[in-house]
Amino acid sequence: MSYNTVPTLVTGDPWSAANANIYWRDNFEAGVPAIIAAAGDVVYGTGPNAVTVLSASPGRFPRWDAAGVTLEAVAPLLYNRQGGDATHWATGGTTNYSLATAYPHVELGVIPVVIASSSASGQIQVNLSANFFGYPHINVSFEAAVVDGYIISAYYGSVDVGSFYVYVRTSTAQTTDRTINVSWTATGY
């Protein structure tokens, strides 16, 4: 159903039940709330005064082309994964899990970890913007493995659905505070 342009009326013009049905009822039924059939449906314009719905489907999400006009359902960023637990992504294993019906959740960032003077390690908690449904898989990396002659390693631990810790260790205690920027990625659903 398309939108009907409402005519401009002046005092004394007749307004019938048919007019009310065409311009009020039918326009409301052509509007966004009435055409949504399920959670996840996306409404988009198809032309002047016309819209349609891209129906939600499990494991797919909407995408517009570069011009912003074509809307389609595309496969998710992640389709399958391998591990030892269906919901806790940090558990090792060789079982294949399909993500075709799950919407993946990926967060990434860079966080500075300070190694205080006279110390050989530092840590910081990363709080994710939204909780995962299970423990996410975490990757950490940093720019260089050797800085000023010190061997540096970065790793993660204490993973939970909404946070984890990043740890940085050097081969020897530092004489001054040192900050190492660690890149991280959390992946799960």
pLDDT tens per residue, range 17-56: 999 888 888 887 777 777 777 766 777 777 777 777 776 6
**Single-letter residue type at 178:** R
- Of 123, 120, 80, which is closest to residue 99 (Cα–Cα)? 80
Q: For residue 21, what is the DSSP state?
A: I
**Single-letter residue type at 104:** P
Topology (CATH level 3) of domain 105-188: Immunoglobulin-like (2.60.40)
Q: What pLDDT sits at residue 75?
A: 47
Listed by start position, the domains of the chain span: 31-74, 105-188
Q: For residue 22, what is the DSSP state?
A: I
Q: What pLDDT sits at residue 156?
A: 92
Mean pLDDT throughout 135-153? Answer: 77
* pLDDT band (50, 70, 90) for residue 102: low
Q: What pLDDT sits at residue 71?
A: 47
Residues in the chain: 189
- Of 189, 18, 6, 30, which is closest to residue 106 (Cα–Cα)? 189
Say if residues 80 and 96 touch (Cβ distance below 8 Å): yes
Tokens at 185, concatenated: 């990625």
